Structure 1
Amino acid sequence: MRLIAEPLTAEAFAPFGEVLAAPDAPGRVYIDAALANRRDHAKASLSFIHKMPNALPITSTTMERHLHSSQSFVPMEAVRWLAIVAPHGADGKPDMARAKAFLARPDQGVTYGADVWHHPFTVIDRPARFAIFMWKDGSSADDEFVEVAPFEVHMP
Structure 2
Amino acid sequence: MVAGLDLSGRITAKPLTAEGFAPFGDLLEVTGAPDKLINQGLCGRHHDRASLDFGPEGRAGISLFDAEPRALPLTLDMVERHPEGSQAFIPMSRHPFLVIVAPDESGTPGEPRAFLTAPGQAVNYHRNTWHGVLTPLHAPGLFAVVDRIGSTPNLEEHWFDTPYEVVAP
> Which residue pairs with 2:66 in the alignment?
50
Larger radius of gyration: 2
Are 2:130 and 1:112 aligned? no
Q: After superposition, where does 1:43-122 map in structure 2 within 5 Å?
A: 43-90=59-106, 92-96=107-111, 99-122=112-135
* 1:146 shift after superposition: 1.5
Are 2:12 and 1:4 aligned? yes
* 1:42 shift after superposition: 0.8
Question: More displaced, 28-37 or 99-108?
Answer: 28-37
What CA distance in whole angstroms lies between the structure 1 residues aligned with 2:68 and 2:140? 4
The list of structure 1 runs, each at least 4 consecutive aligned residues, that deviate by more than 6 angstroms after superposition, is none
What are the ranges of 5 or more consecutive residues in structure 1 without an aligned counterpart? none
Q: Secondary structure at the match of 2:19?
A: helix
CA deviation vs aligned residue, 1:41-95 (integer Å, no higher than 9, x gap): 21212101112211220102110001121100111124110110000113x1101
TM-score, normalising length from structure 2?
0.82
Q: Secondary structure at the match of 1:133?
A: strand
* 1:23 shift after superposition: 5.0
Q: Which structure features the higher share of helix residues?
A: 1
CA deviation vs aligned residue, 1:88-138 (integer Å, no higher than 9, x gap): 113x11012xx2100001310000011100001101133321100011213
Q: Secondary structure at the match of 1:12?
A: helix
What CA distance in whole angstroms lies between the structure 2 residues aligned with 1:79 and 1:69? 26
Q: Give the conservation status (yes or no) of the 8 Å contact 1:57–1:155.
A: yes
Q: Bigger relative contact order, structure 1 or 2, given CA contacts below 8 A and separation 6+?
A: 1
What CA distance in whole angstroms lies between the structure 1 residues aligned with 2:67 and 2:140? 6
RMSD over aligned CA atoms reads: 1.6
Q: Secondary structure at the match of 1:27?
A: strand
- Name the CA shift for 1:33/1:59 in 2 (closer, same or farther; >3 Å): closer
> Which residue pairs with 2:155 in the alignment?
143
Task: Give the share of equivalent positions with the same residue, in percent.
Answer: 38
What CA distance in whole angstroms lies between the structure 2 residues aligned with 1:152 and 1:33? 30
Q: Secondary structure at the match of 2:164?
A: strand
Q: Give the conservation status (yes or no) of the 8 Å contact 1:64–1:144.
A: yes
Given residue 158 of structure 2, which amino acid in structure 1 is its aligned partner? V
The number of aligned residues is 151
